[in-house]
A and B are shown apart, each in its own frame.
Chain A
Amino acid sequence: MTPRAATFLPPPFTGEGRGGGPRAFAALLLMSVLNGTASAQVAPFVVTEDAILAPLEGRIGDAARGAAVVRNRETANCLICHSIPDPRERFMGDIGPPLAGVGSRLTAGQIRLRLVDATLLNPDAVMPPYHRVAGLVRVDERYRGQPVLTAQEIEDVVAFLATLKDEGE
């Protein structure tokens, strides 16, 4: 794993000066406007080694709300790929590693980076980016310009995963 320290800031708002010009140009500008709007929904963050140390927007996560996000089949849908240690949950996926014990394996900052955008760690990651809008291709218009999870939801999920400690701890 290559250690990296970089600032990932949202792209600048470039919507000004819209109108006029050939069609293709207008389309290009419109895309920038969408990105610009979107960036308002993506919190800035700093990557240190393989972690995002600071909570997004300084928000405080709530583990109970995070548990609900992780189980939600409409939005985050984490259990399509992962299992959590809960015998009541059925049909959990095994594409990603089991999340049991993840709070012992990883720090909150490491979990945060993996949720925000795992491709920052490994360009071939299968784990979807949950707090990113830039550089995504052919996003369905209902979701275009929005991250899957808000900054608050990311912090809630981080808080929940941090409670999943190895047994005996």
Chain B
Amino acid sequence: MIRRAVLLAGLCAATLAGAAEIRPTRDYLSPELRAQQQDPSRHPGWLWVDEGEALWRRGETSCQSCHGDIARMAGVAARYPAVASDGALLNLEGRIERCRTQHQGQPAFGYESDELLALTAAIALRSRGMPMSVAVDGPAAPFLEAGRRLYETRQGQLNLACGQCHDDNAGRRLRGDVISNGLGTGYPAYRLEWNGMGSLHRRLRACSLGVRATQFDLGSPEYLALELFLADRARGLPVEAPGLRR
């Protein structure tokens, strides 16, 4: 594993074109962005991480009052999305909102709010470098299949399936972007184009719009199922959140 990572680090993205293998997203980043993603002092996403860690401790029934130090969240992001006891598929954002409404008795932050992005980023950071390992059997199986179908269907006015870019053309250039394998491992991510932090579902809406297909809502069942499928595709690859993107 380590040897492989070292070998890959030396390769430039162009040589990955059309690669059948699914590679960590950092392999597709420019060397500059890759270095910056690893360096908190040059990664604007750390503003959200700091805010998230403060939120973790804030209030009487704080997250910390139930879970202890945020360091104990290590490994959690690698296991999400996951099916909750009531059968709902929850991603990390959904899990946090449930704690907020059911255990803290507070109104939900709302998808894409700075608070939710901050907490998600702070929690995901604790799993950085850990291998993705979502459960896809039992109650998760139908969600995985729904996600796979969405991934494999040609859609939109441009009639493209996700894999036609993220499998068949990974490493090639779409305008100024180098296409990666389309994993969710770097989210939430700070995108320079957004001038801020954004969720995976926000990125998925951009890809849907790119092929002129219906955009599903943030937190919709469709994108949740897709997120599970992407997490399964990334099995064994490292969590990179909070990511840094152009």
Q: Which residues of chain A have a CB within 8 Å of any CB of chain B?
A: 79-81, 91-95, 119, 126, 128-129, 132, 136-144, 146, 148
Contacts and interface: CB of A to CB of B under 8 A. Distances in A.
29 contacts: A80-B174, A80-B175, A91-B173, A91-B175, A92-B175, A93-B172, A93-B173, A94-B173, A95-B169, A95-B173, A126-B168, A128-B159, A128-B160, A129-B159, A136-B155, A136-B156, A137-B154, A137-B155, A137-B156, A138-B155, A138-B156, A138-B213, A139-B155, A139-B212, A139-B213, A140-B156, A144-B157, A146-B157, A148-B158
B169 A126 contact: yes
B215 interface: yes
Nearest to B214: A138
B156 A81 contact: no
B54 interface: no
Given A137-B153, A140-B209, A126 B160 contact: yes
A95 B18 CA distance: 10
Interface residues of B, number: 25
B59 interface: no
B212 A119 contact: no
Interface string B138-168: 0000000000000001111111100011001
A79 B169 CA distance: 15
B105 interface: no
B176 interface: yes
A141 B172 contact: no
Interface centre among B156, B175, B211, B215 (most CB of A within 10 A): B175
A91 B246 CA distance: 14
A138 B156 CA distance: 5
Q: Which 5 A-B residue pairs are closest in the complex by CB-CB distance? A: A128-B158, A91-B176, A143-B157, A138-B155, A138-B214
Give chain B's interface secondary structure class: loop
Contacts of A128: 157-160, 211
B213 A140 contact: yes
A10 B154 CA distance: 21
A129 B160 CA distance: 10
Given A126-B164, A126-B168, A141-B214, A136 B157 contact: yes
B165 to A, nearest CB: 8
A137 B211 CA distance: 11
B174 A139 contact: no
Nearest to B156: A139
A95 B172 contact: yes
Contacts of A132: 159
A81 B159 contact: no
Given A139-B212, A141-B214, A95 B174 contact: yes
A81 B177 CA distance: 11
B52 to A, nearest CB: 33
B214 A139 contact: yes
Contacts of B211: 128
Nearest to A146: B157
Contacts of B215: 140
Contacts of A126: 160, 164, 168-169
Interface in B166-206: 168-169, 172-176, 179
Given A141-B214, A143-B212, A93 B174 contact: yes
Given A141-B214, A143-B212, A79 B157 contact: no
B151 to A, nearest CB: 13
